[in-house]
Amino acid sequence: MTRTIPQPDWQTLDALRRRFLLAGPGGLSDYWASDHDLAQYDATFAERIRWKWAAVLGELRTNPAWALPGGMTLLDWGCGTGVAARAFLSAFPAMRDGHVMVSDRSSRACEFALGRIRDEHAPARLSRFVGGQIPRDTVVLVSHVLDELPGPALQALLALLRQAEAVVWVEPGTQALGRSLAGLKATLLDRFTTVAPCPHDQPCGLLQPGRERDWCHFFAPPPPEASQDRRWSEFGRRMAIDLRSLPTSFLVMRRAAPSPIDRPPGQVRILGRPRPSKGLVTCLGCDPSGAVVEMRVLRSHDRATHDRLREGGFCLRVPRAS
């Protein structure tokens, strides 16, 4: 449920926005000067990230390829205020029976995240992860960090992910980050199988020559409150953020098993937004073969698929054309 922003401190939010714009690989060691900064961020910028997580996790809840048991270990890596872990525990309450860990370069952020996770979900065990090995049954959450990781830090993260049972990685849906995430998938295919969004376990077809302008991204739906609450409207205006648009790139993988995972047969994953015109919808799709396909769906030929694409939605799947 989306929260009303509690007494926005616009000076603090403006300062945080400037810090985010300055951030780059290794550029900022710690955003957080105070718990007040964290609380303001958590109620605004982080809440918007939570909307993205809600969409991704909603996709997983209906995906038979996910189907992980409860009571596993959960690690929120680069946790910030712990919004990814809190969204995950809301979507999968059985995970509260396991061990929840947070990790961040900021000790202050870790303590804040631990407090918020404890208040919202009261997991059976809750602690800060300070490095080393993780249990094999760990689900690692990674959120909005890729553009701030220098090469060595990224390699260290990938080494950590290789120890895990599953990975859920969510980033802004920009062209650069969407393509970077597709490249990272290829480096993990020797250890993991892909759950979402890809309908295949091949390297991303968008990285083939001729596809340099395309990338894997989707648009998460904002909650109604984002347009109905006066403070959210003011936040969007002051921060120059369109709250109606939540472009998102993500990757979900789990440790490969001897038998293949269960995927909907013959389903094409629609990338970005379908482009409707009179009696026709065109779009880009990810095919189960690993290819990227240009789709043109005439209403006169396939009314059901045409109307489904025109309606839109997060992470659309449609039947492969025969």
Q: pTM of the prediction?
A: 0.93
Q: Does the bond joining 123 to the residue before it have cis omega, within 30 degrees of 0?
A: no
What gap in Å lies between CA 259 and CA 72, rounded to an integer? 21
Is 119 a residue whose pLDDT tops 60? yes
Amino acid at 52: K
Domains and their CATH numbers in the chain: 10-255 (3.40.50.150), 267-319 (no CATH)
Among all chains, which residue has been given the structure tokens 């199988």? 193
In this structure, are residues 120 and 126 in contact, taking their beta carbons and an 8 Å threshold? no
Q: State residue 174's pLDDT score.
A: 95
Q: What is the pLDDT of residues 44-58, one digit of tens each?
A: 999 999 999 999 999
273-292 pLDDT tens trace:
999 999 999 999 999 989 99
Distance CA 261, CA 87 (A): 25
Task: For residues 12 and 29, give the distance between their C-alpha atoms in angstroms, rounded to a whole number.
Answer: 18
